[in-house]
């Protein structure tokens, strides 16, 4: 299985390769050398000139000439992107202008000294991060690097040369390089160049030769550089093989696991394991077992560094909580099918630590079964950093814990001594009692041991005869003292361990329940605003920090303001960071290596479908997030992202539905109108063509039937066209009324005549409550309006229905009621019937849904009103009110 997996090209890698081949990512070439003075910069510049001659658009981002004449000559022929000025603590520094390069966007940019650390205030801490960003923008990069600056080699170099290397480059960058060109030079040649002053000035050269540039050192560095280049070539070959599906000769189905802790030595272990994993082509894991929750600040820092390093070097990092380190290691190893465990060989100080470490090793070996265990030797770096490399960590209790215990025991002793009436055996029971109480106060094992020692000491001195001496006369008392000591310390340490375990359980439970609550509330959050609110609330609670959330727009940009649920707003600089995070998908800000000067911590809100926004935290104190906390935070953010994504999908579905609805409406409308238009036209065309056939011409009943159909269809068509013209007039809002003195009586009787032919066994009754007065109105328009309403009443009522028109006048208004005794108007349609193209559901064919809206338009043109109501006694009533205009 394992072997097969390796044979198959990793799809991720293939994609990366393709992505890079397609130029979405820039090409990285490293000019690699053993140390300064090898001629890397010179070689890089020469290559750049060659590229320029080939028509490549080349620019220099930054080049250190060290005032070497030949180098400076080469620089002069190339375009320079000016350096950016950054002011730090009042001094101006020149740094690579990252934004300038991204804006200029050459095809190839030269960036010297990959290992350089940027001045605080720059976007990234390290220059190699600048380079990665440039590459991700599709720009090729040439850069230079010395072997000692490679993270995994820094220690070895330190061991060989005694020089502490501060500026390091992550190995992943070296591995990311598409080409590595080794700039090789023999140590003798280099030394000669040094002496000639080609590398440094004469005086500096002398110092350099005495310290760093010893022939032995140089040979070792050269060997290292050669080997690394060879490894890189190996890897290229491997990539090539897997890309072309050439069978790679994988040696092993091995999986390595390195146990790491909060000691700087762990970094060595990590590097060592990486090298081993690399050379045997095995996946590797770094495991940290959190046995106590009490780490000093320094240790926490180191631990975080170690975990980061392991991750950077390509390990899968696993952290687990367990008071039993060995059990935890074995458990993880089994879980991940580990074949080799790598642990550090500590050089314990003191007897206790020595025994402890021996026990640890023995137990690990005996419990590991078929898993191989490697011990890797370490070195104490006491001069550099004070650290505490303990496999089973004994917590570092602050001084006050010790003093509290000291005072408590002494005070207790004082009381017992004053009381004085107990036998010394029962006094021992009292001390024992106090000892069992001690673990109740959050004490580490150290203070408890102190308590045990102290009580034993007091008991012996003050109570065991002879009094006030440490002398013990009876053997049984000696025995008792030892027993006392053992019982006190064991019970103390055990209960403190139990408490610790309990606390870790509690923490885990708190974490689980926090996540559960978050998921629960997110799952019922009805919209983006609630999601933002829940997100802010949860993060604020969990990390006691202020939170801002910015969502992306649909166009893939960041919104211009933070979401209103945020508890603070950002200033301009922070907006830039937020945008950077949004565009680059990496965290930034405080405690990160990108733009660490900000007060805030920025996380991208990523989902499977893309970037959704940015979450910003304002950590209240200077304390960085612990690894576990960060893990928790990223989990929370992931949950939020999926909730946001779900919401977006919902919105999308909703708008699709809306679109569908409107399309349906359009189709219905289109169908009904084309039906209305085509029916009379079809009739006319069909009848006309039939009229041309002989069979029809000779038969008079066919003939007259068809002619009648043609005339009916023409009338229908005319009415339709008039309707369209009318609605267009209404729509244009530009109805010119032809106002003349007219009588409503005339108008209604003309309608009665007009509708007579349409009445389908309906009766139309017109009555007047008062004598109609003459007033000014547009006869044609009002006739059309009222006709439409009556026509509608005929259409929508069953035959034999009764239609009543009642005329009335109240003050200056004429009121018309048109009643029918049909089925009335469905309640939900009442407010829609005057809308254009509205047609009642389930109505018969014919009609455009325009009649009533035309009526309304014409009546409103007369400053009148129309409304429809249902008669409680059945049927519909249309009420028209028109002001009497004299």
CB of 696 to other proteins, least distance (A): 5
CB of 671 to other proteins, least distance (A): 6
CB of 43 to other proteins, least distance (A): 56
Tell me 221's DSSP state.
Answer: H
629's enclosing H/E stretch is helix 627-691
Give the CA angle between residues 319, 320, 326 to the nearest 5°. Answer: 115
Residue closer to other proteins, measured from CB, 611 or 791? 791
Beta bridge partners of 603: 615
Residue closer to other proteins, measured from CB, 418 or 695? 695
Structure tokens, 286:
């770094």
Residue closer to other proteins, measured from CB, 519 or 682? 682
Q: Is 692 in the site for other proteins (CB under 8 A)?
A: yes
Q: Which stretch binds other proteins (CB under 8 A): 494-502, 535-543, 557-565, 704-712?
A: 704-712
Q: Return the number of other C-beta atoms located less than 10 Å from residue 678's C-beta.
A: 11
Site for other proteins in 805-864 (CB under 8 A): 842-846
User: What are the residues whose beta carbons fall under 8 Å from the beta carbon of 404, sequence distance 6 or more?
Assistant: 441, 447
Q: Which residue of 280, 690, 735, 830 would you call a contact of other proteins, by CB under 8 A?
A: 690
Q: Is 351 in the site for other proteins (CB under 8 A)?
A: no
Residue closer to other proteins, measured from CB, 486 or 685? 685
Contact 866, 804 (CB under 8 A): no
Q: Which stretch binds other proteins (CB under 8 A): 29-37, 312-320, 690-698, 737-745?
A: 690-698
User: What are the residues whose beta carbons fall under 8 Å from the beta carbon of 655, sequence distance 6 or more?
Assistant: none
CB of 657 to other proteins, least distance (A): 21
Residue closer to other proteins, measured from CB, 791 or 839? 839
Q: Which residue of 169, 539, 706, 751 would you call a contact of other proteins, by CB under 8 A?
A: 706
**How far is CA 794 from its chain centroid?**
64
CB of 679 to other proteins, least distance (A): 5
Residue closer to other proteins, measured from CB, 23 or 688? 688
Q: Is 537 in the site for other proteins (CB under 8 A)?
A: no
Q: Nearest to residue 866, comparing CAs of 770, 789, 808? A: 789
Q: Which stretch binds other proteins (CB under 8 A): 391-399, 706-714, 733-741, 821-829?
A: 706-714
Residue closer to other proteins, measured from CB, 370 or 692? 692
Residue closer to other proteins, measured from CB, 794 or 805? 794
Site for other proteins in 113-142 (CB under 8 A): none
Place of tokens 């080799």: 340
Q: Which stretch binds other proteins (CB under 8 A): 78-86, 212-220, 712-720, 859-867?
A: 712-720
Contact 126, 117 (CB under 8 A): yes
Q: Is 725 in the site for other proteins (CB under 8 A)?
A: no
Q: Is 712 in the site for other proteins (CB under 8 A)?
A: yes
Q: Is 696 in the site for other proteins (CB under 8 A)?
A: yes
Residue closer to other proteins, measured from CB, 337 or 693? 693
Q: Which residue of 544, 597, 699, 760 would you call a contact of other proteins, by CB under 8 A?
A: 699
820: burial class by Cβ within 10 Å (0-12, 13-18, 19+)? buried
CB of 844 to other proteins, least distance (A): 6
Residue closer to other proteins, measured from CB, 210 or 701? 701
CB of 707 to other proteins, least distance (A): 10
Count of residues touching other proteins (by CB under 8 A): 33
CB of 826 to other proteins, least distance (A): 17
Residue closer to other proteins, measured from CB, 687 or 781? 687
- Sign for the CA dihedral angle at 630, 634, 635, 637 comes to positive
700: burial class by Cβ within 10 Å (0-12, 13-18, 19+)? exposed
Q: Output the DSSP codes for 47-87.
A: HHHHHHHTT--EEEEE---TT-HHHHHHHHTSEEPPPEEEE
Place of tokens 């990486």: 274
- Distance separating alpha carbons of residues 371 and 357, to the nearest angstrom: 20
B/e letters for 712-723, b = 16+ CB within 10 Å, e = fewer, are: ebeebbeebeeb
CB of 687 to other proteins, least distance (A): 5
Contact 877, 818 (CB under 8 A): yes
Residue closer to other proteins, measured from CB, 253 or 823? 823
Structure tokens, 334:
């089994």
Q: Is 798 in the site for other proteins (CB under 8 A)?
A: no
User: What are the residues whose beta carbons fall under 8 Å from the beta carbon of 638, sequence distance 6 or more?
Assistant: 606
User: What are the residues whose beta carbons fall under 8 Å from the beta carbon of 486, sequence distance 6 or more?
Assistant: none
Q: Which stretch binds other proteins (CB under 8 A): 86-94, 457-465, 517-525, 688-696?
A: 688-696
Q: Is 552 in the site for other proteins (CB under 8 A)?
A: no
Site for other proteins in 646-685 (CB under 8 A): 670-671, 674-675, 678-685
Q: How far is CA 473 from CA 432, 462, 470, 482, in A?
A: 22, 14, 10, 14
User: What are the residues whose beta carbons fall under 8 Å from the beta carbon of 11, sequence distance 6 or more?
Assistant: none
Q: Is 713 in the site for other proteins (CB under 8 A)?
A: yes
The gap between the terminal CA atoms of the chain, to the nearest Å, is 100
Q: Return the number of other C-beta atoms located less than 10 Å from residue 250's C-beta.
A: 17
Residue closer to other proteins, measured from CB, 428 or 683? 683
Contact 496, 436 (CB under 8 A): no
Residue closer to other proteins, measured from CB, 544 or 704? 704
- Distance separating alpha carbons of residues 816 and 879, to the nearest angstrom: 6
CB of 752 to other proteins, least distance (A): 25
CB of 674 to other proteins, least distance (A): 5
Residue closer to other proteins, measured from CB, 571 or 699? 699
Contact 142, 131 (CB under 8 A): no
Residue closer to other proteins, measured from CB, 398 or 705? 705
Residue closer to other proteins, measured from CB, 559 or 829? 829
CB of 693 to other proteins, least distance (A): 6
| Angle, helices 215-243/151-161, rounded to nearest 10 degrees | 160
Contact 857, 749 (CB under 8 A): no
Residue closer to other proteins, measured from CB, 202 or 711? 711
CB of 716 to other proteins, least distance (A): 8
Contact 8, 74 (CB under 8 A): no
Q: Is 214 in the site for other proteins (CB under 8 A)?
A: no
Q: Is 702 in the site for other proteins (CB under 8 A)?
A: yes
Q: Which residue of 436, 686, 750, 809 would you call a contact of other proteins, by CB under 8 A?
A: 686
Q: Which stretch binds other proteins (CB under 8 A): 96-104, 135-143, 167-175, 711-719?
A: 711-719
Give the CB-side neighbour count of residue 866, counting CA atoms within 13 A.
24
Site for other proteins in 505-524 (CB under 8 A): none
User: What are the residues whose beta carbons fall under 8 Å from the beta carbon of 148, sequence distance 6 or more?
Assistant: 35, 154, 157, 161, 163, 165, 221
Q: Which residue of 211, 689, 728, 760 would you call a contact of other proteins, by CB under 8 A?
A: 689
- Distance separating alpha carbons of residues 448 and 455, to the nearest angstrom: 11
Q: Please give the residue ranges that form the binding site for other proteins (CB under 8 A).
A: 670-671, 674-675, 678-687, 689-690, 692-693, 695-696, 699, 702, 705-706, 709, 712-713, 716, 842-846
């Amino acid at each position: 299985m394992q072997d097969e997996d390796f044979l198959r090209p990793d799809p991720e890698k293939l994609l990366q390769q393709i992505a890079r081949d397609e130029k979405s990512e820039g090409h990285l070439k490293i000019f690699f050398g053993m140390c300064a003075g090898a001629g890397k910069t010179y070689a890089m510049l020469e290559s750049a000139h060659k590229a320029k001659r080939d028509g490549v658009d080349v620019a220099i981002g930054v080049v250190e000439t060290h005032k070497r004449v030949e180098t400076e000559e080469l620089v002069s022929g190339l375009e320079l992107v000016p350096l950016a000025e950054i002011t730090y603590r009042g001094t101006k520094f020149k740094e690579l202008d990252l934004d300038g390069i991204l804006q200029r966007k050459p095809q190839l940019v030269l960036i010297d000294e990959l290992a350089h650390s940027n001045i605080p205030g720059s976007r990234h801490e390290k220059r190699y991060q600048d380079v990665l960003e440039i590459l991700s923008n599709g720009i090729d990069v040439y850069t230079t690097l010395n072997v000692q600056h490679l993270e995994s080699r820094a220690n070895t170099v330190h061991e060989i040369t005694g020089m502490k290397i501060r500026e390091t480059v992550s190995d992943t960058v070296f591995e990311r390089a598409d080409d590595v060109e080794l700039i090789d030079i023999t140590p003798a040649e280099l030394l000669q160049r040094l002496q000639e002053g080609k590398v440094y000035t004469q005086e500096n050269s002398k110092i350099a030769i005495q310290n760093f540039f010893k022939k032995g050192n140089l040979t070792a560095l050269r060997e290292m550089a050669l080997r690394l280049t060879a490894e890189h070539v190996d890897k290229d070959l491997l990539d090539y093989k897997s890309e072309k599906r050439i069978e790679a000769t994988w040696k092993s189905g091995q999986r390595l696991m390195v146990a790491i802790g909060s000691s700087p030595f762990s970094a060595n272990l990590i590097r060592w394991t990486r090298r081993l994993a690399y050379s045997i082509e095995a996946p590797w894991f770094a495991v940290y077992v959190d046995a106590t929750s009490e780490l000093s600040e320094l240790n926490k820092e180191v631990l975080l560094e170690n975990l980061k390093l392991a991750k950077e070097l390509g390990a899968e990092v696993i952290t687990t909580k367990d008071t039993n380190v060995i059990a935890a290691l074995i458990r993880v190893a089994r879980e991940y099918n580990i074949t080799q465990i790598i642990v550090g060989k500590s050089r314990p100080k003191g007897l206790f630590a020595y025994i402890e470490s021996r026990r640890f090793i023995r137990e690990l070996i005996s419990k590991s079964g078929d898993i191989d265990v490697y011990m890797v030797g370490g070195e104490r770096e006491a001069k550099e950093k004070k650290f505490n490399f303990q496999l089973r960590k004994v917590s570092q209790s602050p001084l006050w814990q010790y003093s509290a215990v000291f005072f408590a025991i002494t005070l207790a002793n004082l009381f017992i001594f004053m009381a004085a009436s107990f036998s010394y055996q029962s006094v021992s029971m009292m001390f024992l009692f106090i000892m069992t109480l001690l673990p109740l106060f959050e004490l580490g094992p150290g203070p408890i041991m102190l308590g045990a020692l102290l009580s034993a000491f007091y008991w012996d001195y003050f109570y065991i005869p002879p009094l006030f001496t440490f002398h013990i006369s009876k053997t049984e008392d000696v025995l008792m003292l030892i027993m006392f000591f053992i019982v006190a310390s064991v019970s103390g340490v055990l209960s403190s361990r139990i408490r610790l375990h309990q606390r870790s359980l509690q923490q885990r439970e708190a974490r689980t329940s926090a996540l559960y609550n978050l998921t629960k509330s997110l799952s019922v959050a009805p919209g983006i605003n609630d999601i933002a609110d829940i997100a802010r609330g949860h993060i604020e609670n969990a990390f006691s920090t202020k939170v801002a959330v910015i969502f992306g727009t649909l166009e893939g940009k960041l919104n211009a303001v933070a979401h209103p649920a945020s508890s603070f707003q950002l200033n301009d600089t922070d907006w830039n960071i937020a945008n950077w995070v949004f565009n680059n998908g990496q965290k930034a800000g405080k405690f990160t290596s990108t733009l660490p000067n900000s007060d805030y911590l920025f996380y991208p809100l990523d989902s499977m479908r893309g970037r959704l926004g940015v979450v910003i935290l304002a950590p209240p104190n200077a304390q960085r997030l612990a690894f576990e906390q960060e893990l928790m935070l990223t989990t929370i953010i992931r949950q939020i992202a999926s909730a946001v994504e779900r919401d977006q999908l919902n919105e999308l579905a909703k708008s699709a539905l809306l679109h569908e609805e409107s399309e349906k409406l359009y189709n219905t409308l289109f169908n009904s109108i084309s039906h209305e238009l085509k029916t009379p036209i079809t009739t006319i065309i069909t009848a006309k063509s039939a009229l041309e056939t002989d069979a029809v011409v000779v038969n008079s009943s066919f003939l007259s039937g068809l002619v009648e159909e043609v005339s009916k269809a023409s009338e229908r068509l005319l009415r339709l066209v008039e309707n369209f013209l009318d609605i267009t007039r209404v729509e244009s809002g530009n109805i010119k009324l032809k106002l003349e003195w007219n009588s409503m009586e005339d108008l209604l009787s003309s309608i009665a005549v007009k509708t007579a032919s349409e009445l389908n066994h309906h009766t139309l009754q017109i009555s007047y409550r008062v004598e109609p007065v003459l007033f000014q109105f547009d006869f044609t328009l009002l006739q059309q309006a009222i006709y439409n309403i009556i026509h509608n009443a005929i259409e929508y009522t069953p035959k034999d229905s009764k239609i009543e028109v009642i005329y009335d006048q109240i003050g200056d208004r004429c009121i018309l009621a048109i009643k029918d005794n049909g089925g009335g108007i469905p309640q939900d349609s009442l407010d829609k019937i005057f809308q254009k193209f509205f047609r009642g559901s389930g109505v018969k064919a014919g009609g455009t849904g325009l009649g009533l809206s035309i009526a309304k338009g014409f009546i409103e043109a007369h400053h009148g009103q129309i409304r429809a109501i249902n008669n409680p006694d059945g049927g519909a009533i249309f009420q028209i009110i028109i002001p009497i205009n004299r």
